[in-house]
Amino acid sequence: MTYEQTLHYLYNKLPLYSVIGIRAYKADLDNTLALCKHLGDPQNKIKTIHIAGTNGKGSTSHMLAAAFQECGYKTGLYTSPHLKDFRERIKINGEMIARDFIISFVEKTKTFSEEIQPSFFELTVAMAFEYFA
């Protein structure tokens, strides 16, 4: 697949909250955990900070990432949504995820994804964990 075909798959074949609303919402972690298990549990290979709440998550995340980078830590940042480019969502030390990684990740997980039918969010979270690991 090309990068454009890969993005088309992500945006059009997976349930996306901003497009179909609450029908894309999953109240459990089953798909995310299944994807992570399928990938060898990359989330267990990294240290994380999960920022939750109603307001300020993006600003707080970016400030923490900048502080950790300044202290010399290799720092991954996963945010949503993006403004212009899907790759803005997943960065390491401020550099956006490589197009080739996105393509290979989607190709690698496509068959399994079609079995469990994750949402856009579930698949991109697993992609971030795999990239950071």
Contact 58, 91 (CB under 8 A): no
Q: In sequence order, what are the beta bridge partners of 96?
A: 91
Contacts of 93 (CB under 8 A, 6+ apart): 69, 74, 75
pLDDT at 108 over 80: yes
* Prediction pTM value: 0.91
- 115-130 pLDDT, tens digit per residue, is 999 989 899 999 999 9
- 23-35 pLDDT, tens digit per residue, is 667 788 999 999 9
What kind of architecture, by CATH, is found in domain 3-132? 3-Layer(aba) Sandwich (3.40)
Say which amino acid occupies 110.
K
Closest CA to 87 of 100, 76, 77, 96: 96
Give the H/E segment covering residue 65: helix 57-70
- pLDDT of 118: 92
